[in-house]
Amino acid sequence: MPNKKKKIIVNIEEKENVDGVNIKKSSRSQSLEKHQDNVSNHINEFYNNQKFSSMDRPHNKGLGWGGVLVIAIIFGLIAGFTSTVFILQHRKIEFPFGIKIDIGEFSSNQGQKVIEEKNITITSEEYLINLSTELQNKIVRIFPAKIVSGQVSLSFLEQIYAPWQTLGLGVILSPDGWLMTTVELNKGKDYIALDKNNKIFAIEQIVSDPFSKVNFLKIAGQDLPVVDLAKTKEALPGTTVVIFDKFRNLYLTEISNPIATTVYKTEDLVRSTDRFSDCLRLNKEISISSFPNGLLFNAKGSLLGLVSIDRIIPAWHLPNCLNHILQNGEIKRLYLGIDYVKIEEAPGLLNKYFKDLSYGLIVYGPPLSGSPADKAGIKNADVIIKADGLILGPDQDLTYLIQEKFPGDQINLTVLRQGEEMEFNIILEEKLEKSEENET
């Protein structure tokens, strides 16, 4: 009978004497206790190193309902502000599927014209009130003086400068008191200027412009508010015009033609370098006879023109006049001495030297005898195409370029003579009475 092998499990035991009692521990229990001791040692080491003063409960890092509510309010305010700005900047909003909403339909200002200035949107009525107030600080009314040499010879009521006695309006050009007006004044009489606050200024000096017949007046002033003179490019067909009549009543209209000329026959197409031929023309529904000696401004408050008896004198005719007065005490207008026809106003010309040109001035007749043009050698039928390098087309006028200069200044003219290009350097002279007599 084969020998059977016996499986023998040896359990190694270790004895420990505790208080005289032998305790047997298995190797498995020894291993467990050893692991527990290691964990306990690690925990003690961690807390000893951290130096906690007290044991706190860990904080909850979640937002909670209060945090969620605060964030929702902040995002709501941002969304509301953004949508408000968008609506203010866009009168119409388009959505998908062809849906459109016109915000203007819900506006309380529906039907009112809105003018935007300096990023502040206001109604046209409010803007005009502000503009009128600003401009009236720069406007004076002209009256005949009632008290001469300090002698009072009038009754109490007769001393009052009544509104219906005003001759017309003037505008302030310089802080020290130079004014401009279309009122016809007699240099042998005394006049006064009355400002917005009814302060009376004696008119000390009168200087007349021989070209425009505008009068420049001097009052004793200091730090006075002044007007800006509009430039040609600021006056376009359809430009809004604010008119003050001589009683300072305000009217609104538009420019019809900023460079209108009175042309009833072909001879009227002939212009002169020695006078202004154009004027401002307003909407046909407005008659300038209703605003004698009044003033025209654009919506920015710049002076567009002055109303004379029969026409509106553009402000850009006059910017150099004050410089002449300040330098010479008088206005010295220059002259060249030629008449001309603008090519853009003369379609249908058959001459081979003219028909293919799109710009320039055709000299009409010989220059005035003894004039700067005559001395320089300009001839009949010459075509002046440039002045000081500037093309003489619809945007450049030779008369304006001349009047921006002073006596003794030079102007360079580029001329076509029978197709050949030539250059002329001409010394400009003051237009004297003798020249005016020869011209007529």
At the second CATH level, the architecture of 232-328 is Beta Barrel (2.40)
According to the per-residue pLDDT averaged within each range, which of 191-195, 240-244, 251-255, 265-269 is highest?
Answer: 191-195
The whole-chain average pLDDT of the chain stands at: 79
Q: What pLDDT score was predicted for residue 42? A: 57
Task: With cut-offs at 50, 70 and 90, classify the pLDDT of residue 262.
Answer: low
In this prediction, residues 413-420 reach a mean pLDDT of 95
Task: With cut-offs at 50, 70 and 90, classify the pLDDT of residue 225.
Answer: very high
More confident residue, 22 or 210: 210
Q: What pLDDT score was predicted for residue 373? A: 96
Q: Which CATH class is domain 334-439?
A: mainly beta
Q: What pLDDT score was predicted for residue 326? A: 84
Q: What is the per-residue pLDDT across 105-121, written as a single tens digit (0 to 9) for each?
A: 544 444 444 444 445 55
Q: Please give the distance of CA 21 from its chain centroid, rounded to a whole number.
A: 110
Identify the weakest region by mean pLDDT among 268-272, 310-314, 361-365.
Answer: 268-272
CB 202 within 8 A of CB 240: no
In this prediction, residues 279-301 reach a mean pLDDT of 86
Q: What is the per-residue pLDDT across 306-326, written as a single tens digit (0 to 9) for each?
A: 999 888 999 988 888 988 888
Domain with CATH 2.30.42.10 in the chain: 334-439
Q: What pLDDT score was predicted for residue 26? A: 45
Q: What pLDDT score was predicted for residue 116? A: 46
Stated pTM of the model: 0.66
Using a pLDDT cut of 70, give the percent of the chain over it: 69
Whether residue 16 has pLDDT greater than 80? no
Q: What pLDDT score was predicted for residue 438? A: 39
